Structure 1
Amino acid sequence: MSIFLPILFIGSVQAFFSALMIASKKTSGPEKIYLSLLLLIISLEFIFYILDIYNIIQYQFPVFQFTIGPLIYLFIKAIKSKNYTLNIADLLHFIPFTVFLFVWIFFVYNLASIKYSDKINSYSNSTITFLMGIALFITLLTYLILSLKEIYSYQKNLKSVFSYHSFKNSLNWIKVIVVLMVIGYTLMFTYSSLLLFKIINIAFNPLGIITISFTILSYLIGFYGYNQPALFNQKFNHTNTQHQPTEEKNTHKLNKKETDQITKKIEEIMMEQKPYTKGDLTIDELASILNISRSGLTQLLNQNMGKNFYKFINEYRVNEAKNLLVDPEFKNFSLVAIGYEAGFNSKSTFNSFFKSQTGMTPSEFKKRYSQKK
């Protein structure tokens, strides 16, 4: 079993320091706490496997994995939900972990000591272990599915908050991780079930797969979690309330006079200040510039203009790009550079949105203008 020790040590250290890096970020929020705890749990899981290998403790069942599903779910909820704060009710999600922790301590831990080489069979053939495995699988699957539901809900509303799409705000990385975890745990549970009921007779130690999988998992969570400012910087966060403290209580509907005044103000600011040229502009930032609530701006865009924030901003960017494409001062700029100058933060978004608005790509637009001269 010593073959797994280097990976276990590396995984434990990597997860631990990733947790410290995320916890040390100069921003506050429960999402940071949940992600740090998730990495610490992974590190702790590795440590218990190491102690088990050295026969210091008996760790036949990964009881700490009962916390992984709830932590991922609460992490996504904290990012998605407005005004989310830590509360006592969150602890209810960890009831399965608490129950099976006591089961592990008072029952599984007191099983007769056996050599690690014999644990391959006992891992799948123990009725108690299998029942705990069913509980773990159901708990994880439930929370992972709930997490996917929250991610899809978050992504559905992206265009009402952000003016851009990128890994910084899409949560695609955590969606991929959750999907892979669903597949991985389903395969492991299916294998254990088939082995227990003697449908197959191919026994192997799952520690290798678990070790490698969680090492990769801790790296991905640490890397993307640390490098994704949309998760920890309130300026980008979907839950930002810095400029609208009474947002939730504001149910006032704009009348025609207010609508006309705000519309005129928006047009003036968009023409003079050109906030749309900021590639990562959010609706909170524009609402702050206009000195109105986010709900008021959203209402104006959706009900009076018939568009979401994403479309509203990128239409201005397209018009800006059209002007730059025919401006002699920018004739030596590449099309990508023109897109960035207009506020687009990727070539693909620039091309696709430009074509959806004009019926032609930026290069076709520039070529057609040149032919008319």
Structure 2
Amino acid sequence: MNTTELNNFIVILIYGSLVLLSLLELTNPLKGNKKANACFGMFLFLWSTFWLDEILSLVKGSKVDVHSLLFVQVIQFLTPIIFYFSVLFFTNPAFKFKVSDLKYAILPVIFLANILFHHFVDFYIDGVFQIVFLILILSQALFYTALSYITIRKHKKRIQLFSSNTEGINLNWLEHIIVVIFVINIIFLIYNIFYDANALNYLMNFIFLAVVYFVGCYCLRQKEIYPVEENQVQELISIEDISDDKEEVKRKLISDEELSKIKAALEDLMKIEKPYLDSELNLIKLSQILSVSTHQLSYVINTGFQKNFFQYVNEYRIEYAKILLKDSSSKLSILGIAYESGFNSKTSFNTTFKKITHQTPSEFKKISSGL
């Protein structure tokens, strides 16, 4: 198999994998993150169209150019926006489009106007069209890449307000691939416009294939970000909004006397009943045990302890893990201690333990045993 044949084989794998993944995401067999998976499925399908020329050329046996078609150009231009919408729905399933969101249509309208102007106005110079065309594509890709990345970073902070275990809902996989996908696309675009990129196409396609399989591995097993009832999702998101509003934080949700009362009850609960040993403990569960609202509990933890929910709960877990690690008679492994302490993976246990104690669990156990 020569280089050309190998490249053709890789192209078939990329296109077929993206179409299959898009169908799986659109049908959403796990029935989770419905709006997000629908948008992500649309993104994957639009992304597959970037290889449509090569696929049709292989089928027909001669060169086919569909990228020059107006419809194809427009839907490909929408790809970064659809990706951003999927990120938006992953991080906020309660998001609803408003009139103000028409701002997302500004660049696509300009892009469409540029293409139509080039097609129907004779004096529109090809060179000018190409420059505007390239600027719009690069602007669109860079803007929505940055916006998606910022949205995910904010999401990672916000989920710590209501979840004690963020692994699996922190969208790390999206954060890792987000820049890679669009940077590669930009390099690919520039080389195809300004250079003879035949040699580069093979390398790019191989990288794309690896990225596609990585995406497939994680997107199909992405668990529900907000595994609660719809009204509870709204409640959690409203808590996130308050936490982001500095003026709201200054406003007292409860009196100082009530804050002290709930704070004392919370400390007694954590020490006696140890609810933190439940790996699925979240703000809603804990507020139900205390018989207070999620807003009140979040306010008590943030104001009374100067911590978020994630920090507060995991500090108790680490203290409990220290006791187990110091117990020389214990037969539990590090992983066993992690599960016993309320963590749902060794990775999250090690990361949290080192962040709080500045030691790994193994190092702490070794020092504690005097070895």
TM range (shorter): 0.7 to 0.9
Q: CA deviation at 1:334?
A: 1.6
* 1:215-236 Cα deviation digits (max 9, x unpaired): 444333332122221xx34228
Aligned to 2:330: 331
Aligned to 2:196: 203
Q: CA deviation at 1:287?
A: 3.1
* 1:93-125 Cα deviation digits (max 9, x unpaired): 2554466468668967xxxxxxxxxxxxxxxx9
- Structure with greater contact order relative to length (CA < 8 Å, sep ≥ 6): 1
Residue 142, structure 1, aligned to residue 153, structure 2: no
* 1:45-65 Cα deviation digits (max 9, x unpaired): 333542356356542487233
Q: Which letter does structure 2 place at the counterpart of 1:331?
A: S
Residue 153, structure 1, aligned to residue 161, structure 2: no
Q: Which letter does structure 1 place at the counterpart of 2:197?
A: F
**Distance verdict in 2 for CA 1:92–1:4, change over 3 Å:** farther
Q: CA deviation at 1:366?
A: 5.1
**Alignment coverage as a number of residue pairs:** 344
Aligned to 1:274: 274
**Distance verdict in 2 for CA 1:283–1:360, change over 3 Å:** same
Aligned to 1:297: 297
* 1:136-158 Cα deviation digits (max 9, x unpaired): 11111111122222222223434
2:287, 2:293 within 8 Å by CA — same for their partners in 1? Answer: yes
Instruction: Provide the rounded CA distance (Å) in 1 between the counterparts of 2:6 and 2:334.
Output: 53
**Distance verdict in 2 for CA 1:22–1:236, change over 3 Å:** farther
* 1:147-185 Cα deviation digits (max 9, x unpaired): 22222222343433332353x233232222222234324
**Distance verdict in 2 for CA 1:364–1:223, change over 3 Å:** closer
Q: Which letter does structure 1 place at the counterpart of 2:52?
A: I
Instruction: Provide the rounded CA distance (Å) in 1 between the counterparts of 2:317 and 2:141.
Output: 43
TM-score norm. by structure 1 comes to: 0.74
Instruction: Provide the rounded CA distance (Å) in 2 between the counterparts of 1:38 and 1:212.
Output: 20
The unaligned stretches of length 5 or more in structure 1 are: 109-124, 196-201
* 1:16-56 Cα deviation digits (max 9, x unpaired): 22122223231254212211111111233333542356356
Q: Which moved more, 1:179-188 or 1:243-252?
A: 243-252
Instruction: Give the 5 Å matches for 1:104-183.
Output: 128-166=129-167, 168-183=168-183
Instruction: Give the 5 Å matches for 1:229-240.
Output: 229=223, 232-235=224-227
Q: CA deviation at 1:11?
A: 2.0
Aligned to 1:59: 67
Instruction: Provide the rounded CA distance (Å) in 2 between the counterparts of 1:103 and 1:243.
Output: 44
2:188, 2:204 within 8 Å by CA — same for their partners in 1? Answer: no
**Distance verdict in 2 for CA 1:7–1:263, change over 3 Å:** same
Q: Which moved more, 1:89-98 or 1:271-280?
A: 89-98
Q: Which letter does structure 1 place at the counterpart of 2:44?
A: L
Percent sequence identity over aligned pairs:
25
2:94, 2:234 within 8 Å by CA — same for their partners in 1? Answer: no
Instruction: Give the 5 Å matches for 1:213-224.
Output: 213-224=207-218
Instruction: Provide the rounded CA distance (Å) in 2 between the counterparts of 1:190 and 1:277.
Output: 53
Instruction: Provide the rounded CA distance (Å) in 2 between the counterparts of 1:105 and 1:2.
Output: 37
* 1:174-206 Cα deviation digits (max 9, x unpaired): 22222223432443455467x3xxxxxx52336
Residue 7, structure 1, aligned to residue 15, structure 2: no
* 1:54-86 Cα deviation digits (max 9, x unpaired): 356542487233122112222222233473135
Q: Which letter does structure 2 place at the counterpart of 1:340?
A: Y
Instruction: Provide the rounded CA distance (Å) in 2 between the counterparts of 1:5 and 1:104.
Output: 30
**Distance verdict in 2 for CA 1:189–1:47, change over 3 Å:** closer
**Distance verdict in 2 for CA 1:363–1:174, change over 3 Å:** closer
TM-score norm. by structure 2 comes to: 0.74
The unaligned stretches of length 5 or more in structure 2 are: 120-125, 243-247
Q: Which letter does structure 2 place at the counterpart of 1:93?
A: Y
2:145, 2:182 within 8 Å by CA — same for their partners in 1? Answer: yes
Q: Which moved more, 1:216-225 or 1:264-273?
A: 264-273
**Distance verdict in 2 for CA 1:358–1:313, change over 3 Å:** same
